Amino acid sequence: MQAKPLRSSSAGALTGTVRVPGDKSISHRALMFGALAIGETVVHGLLEGEDVLHTAAAMRALGASAERGADNVWRVRGVGVGGLKEAAQVLDMGNSGTAARLLVGLVAGHPITSFFTGDASLNKRPMARVITPLEQMGASFVSRAGGRLPLAVIGRDDLVPVTYRLPVPSAQVKSAVLLAGLNTAGVTTVIEAEPTRDHSELMLRHFGATVTTKETEDGALAVSITGQPELTGREIFVPADPSSAAFPVVAALLRPGSEVLLRDVGMNPRRTGLYDTLLEMGADIGFENRRDQAGEPVADLRVKGGTLKGVVVPAERAPSMIDEYPVLAAAAACAQGTTVMLGLKELRVKESDRLAMVAEGLTKCGVKVEVGADDSLTVHGTGAPPQGGATVATAMDHRIAMSFLVLGTATAEPVQVDDGTFIETSFPGFVDLMNGLGAKIGTVAP
């Protein structure tokens, strides 16, 4: 695929009302769980980004139907827990770690053999973190060195329920084990020392599964699923993705005089670490019309431009804002004073090594940064936007691309990213939405 460089130039105040696309985590799960339910699942506001479309294609290959109607509503007809059939082809997960890890867990609990692959970014990412617990349950794997894709899973419908303590704070690993437990007789438990996003737990309950949580003696959280429930098709309203909203939010904060309203943004407390951090930095963000939408809290966000100050972001906050550090780093680069982000080890195994890519890109834009041996990131803001005037490498990573385009709305000289193609994985329409608010983002000849 040909790279599509994009350039972002200094904008005036951003104004307007927008709804960013649907939540990626919730969209993947709506398709997967709908495919296992009996009857029809109706999904409003599904994210039609490439990552989620890969999940839809995989669910079809595994025997469910998942189609978008003329009314833009998606309808999924499931096969029942245990009813997935063997796919005739390799399942291509594209750029999506969530699709790959959750589906590997799901098929591990079915008596079928499945083959998974992805693009050059996904095929570098660690899968051993899901292979290890699923092997303990009785599934078999053949993978590339270091547990990389492509891999083959030989699943079974007589897996052994386990109690598994997460070695890394990962909702994807937690979900993979719970989904393998879905078609496993007995109770499968995942223990997490740090709470990670709980969309799987909330939505599985919504479909009728028994999922319980209990604090352990050492203060961790034990999440248990009772196997072989009957799931029933449901109606799902997907909130706007707080991780996507982060880009127009930060862009508005960086431009004095801005006022932007973002509708229906998901406010699950396991996802809102960025917003807590921005408020600590002095951001003017109002959370209006707070309500519940099909089991997930949502709000409309009113964001006003102003000045930000540097803060220390504690390591414990990382799981609740794991995808938002690149755009927080862009905000920190324009803030007054130093921002220190602690505990960023997991950033190294995202769509790219985000710690390295952020540090490299900011340095090119004239920002003083340090990466600590403890996987911390320190960004020295001067109170004024940095110079910019650089082309930043994005390494097939949508969030690196969008974060630097947001930075470019404020820098003295334009910021260019080498490839905006991967923005389609999570935020179709990003450039138009941002330009509709007053940003100046355009294509450039490669």
State the residues that interact with ligand S3P by CB under 6 A.
25, 98, 170-172, 175, 196-197, 322-323, 346
| Chain centre distance of CA 242 | 9
Nearer to ligand S3P, 175 or 352 (CB): 175
- Tell me which residue of 156, 155, 86, 144 sits closest to 118, measured CA to CA: 144
Cβ 25 to ligand S3P shortest distance, Å: 3
Cβ 45 to ligand S3P shortest distance, Å: 16
What is the 8-class DSSP label of residue 230? P
Tell me the β-bridge partners of 211.
Answer: 225
Phi, psi dihedrals of residue 293, rounded to the nearest 5° = -130, 105
Angle at 266 between CA 264 and CA 267, to 5 degrees: 120
Nearer to ligand S3P, 354 or 364 (CB): 354
Nearer to ligand S3P, 175 or 184 (CB): 175
How far, in Å, CA of 192 to CA of 323, rounded? 19
Cβ 56 to ligand S3P shortest distance, Å: 15
Residue 397 near residue 348 (C-beta atoms within 8 A): no
Cβ 245 to ligand S3P shortest distance, Å: 14
Strand 15-18 relative to strand 259-266: parallel, antiparallel, unpaired? parallel
- Tell me which residue of 249, 163, 234, 228 sits closest to 202, measured CA to CA: 234
How far, in Å, CA of 93 to CA of 115, rounded? 10
Cβ 12 to ligand S3P shortest distance, Å: 32
Residue 347 near residue 355 (C-beta atoms within 8 A): yes
Nearer to ligand S3P, 104 or 365 (CB): 104
Question: Strands, E, within 352-410: which ranges?
Answer: 368-371, 377-382, 388-392
How far, in Å, CA of 214 to CA of 224, rounded? 8
Nearer to ligand S3P, 30 or 76 (CB): 30
Nearer to ligand S3P, 178 or 308 (CB): 178
Neighbour order of strands in the sheet with 259-266: 15-18, 259-266, 296-304, 284-293
Active site residue 323: yes
241: left (phi over 0), alpha (psi -120 to 50) or beta: beta
Q: Which residues of 349-388 are buried (b: 16+ CB within 10 A; e: fewer)?
A: bbbbbbbebbbbbbebbbbebeeeeebbbbbbbeeebbeb
Cβ 322 to ligand S3P shortest distance, Å: 5
Cβ 348 to ligand S3P shortest distance, Å: 12
Residue 325 near residue 358 (C-beta atoms within 8 A): yes
Nearer to ligand S3P, 193 or 261 (CB): 193
One of 323, 397, 418, 419 is an active-site residue; which one?
323
Residues annotated catalytic, as ranges: 323
